[in-house]
Amino acid sequence: MGHAYVGAVSQRTERFDADYYRRFYGRSGVHDARRIAQLAAGVTSLAAWWRIPVRSVLDVGAGPGFWRTWLAGSMPKVRYHGIDVSEHACRTHGHELADLATWWPRRRYDLVVCQSVLQYLDDRACARAIDALAEACRGLLVLEVPTVADRDGVIDPDGTDLDVHWRTGAWYRRRLAGGFTEIGGGLWLSRRCPAPFFELERAR
């Protein structure tokens, strides 16, 4: 069983090569530097509004490093750490080579970003990865993962990798609830974070 698991990690590593990033990141894909800059500005502004300090950021599945680029220009004092399973992304952009299916944090971060990662993991690995995200986060989690409902009515199939594990939103919410409170808009508050929220600021 161990060899099969290592094989699955290797397949994911090889999958996220230069061709993958050319197809799914950039002007023809879902994410580009401009869009991530808009998201980063919005998230950090909301964190400031809620008095949640952002002094450190963990970028899981860091890819082209769009978050690092924005932080370097807009919040240069923030400590950034990116991890990725892609050897190409790590070699090109200087991230730590790590697979979220087996990675465990050595420290905690004020802001954790996890975009388009969990759908590539099977159920067992994904559940463990969510536990790792909860362990790593002491403030806010930015989470993006497509669900069955998104596949059927939201996403653009031409700009989205459809060869992934499709799960319901309820599946993710059950597992995230152990470490986070859902705020909305893809933002989750760590249960370690003492920031007070009004009832209607929370999704549930």
Buried b (16+ CB within 10 A) or exposed e, 62-79: bbbbbbbbbbeeeeeebe
Counting residues of the chain whose pLDDT is more than 90, the rounded percentage is 76
CATH of 2-201, one of 3.40.50.150, 1.10.3720.10, 3.60.15.10, 3.60.70.12: 3.40.50.150
DSSP 123: H
The backbone region for 65, taken as left when phi is positive above 0, alpha when psi lies in -120 to 50, beta otherwise, is left
* Structure-token match 């059927």, residue found: 152
Mean pLDDT for 91-117 is 96
Quickly tell me which residue has 């963990």 as its tokens.
58
pTM: 0.88
Q: 109 pairs with which residues across the strands?
A: 137
For residue range 155-180, list pLDDT tens digits in order: 887 777 888 999 999 999 999 999 99
pLDDT score of 42: 98
Output the pLDDT for position 188.
Answer: 98
Cβ atoms 64, 16 nearer than 8 A: no
Q: Is the pLDDT of residue 70 over 50?
A: yes
Q: Tell me: the pLDDT tens digits for 131-143?
A: 999 999 999 999 9
- Of the pLDDT bands very low, low, confident and very high (cuts 50, 70, 90), residue 203 is confident
Question: Across the chain, what does the average pLDDT equal?
Answer: 89
b/e for 133-167, b at 16 or more Cβ within 10 A? bbbbbbbbbbbbbbbeeeeeeebeeeebbeeeeeb
Q: Specify the higher pLDDT residue, 31 or 128.
A: 128
What are the tens digits of pLDDT across the range 10-62? 455 566 555 666 666 655 556 789 999 999 999 999 999 999 999 999 999 99
Q: Kindly list the domain boundaries of the chain, sorted by start residue.
A: 2-201
Mean pLDDT score, 104-118: 97
Cα–Cα distance between 124 and 129 in angstroms, integer? 9
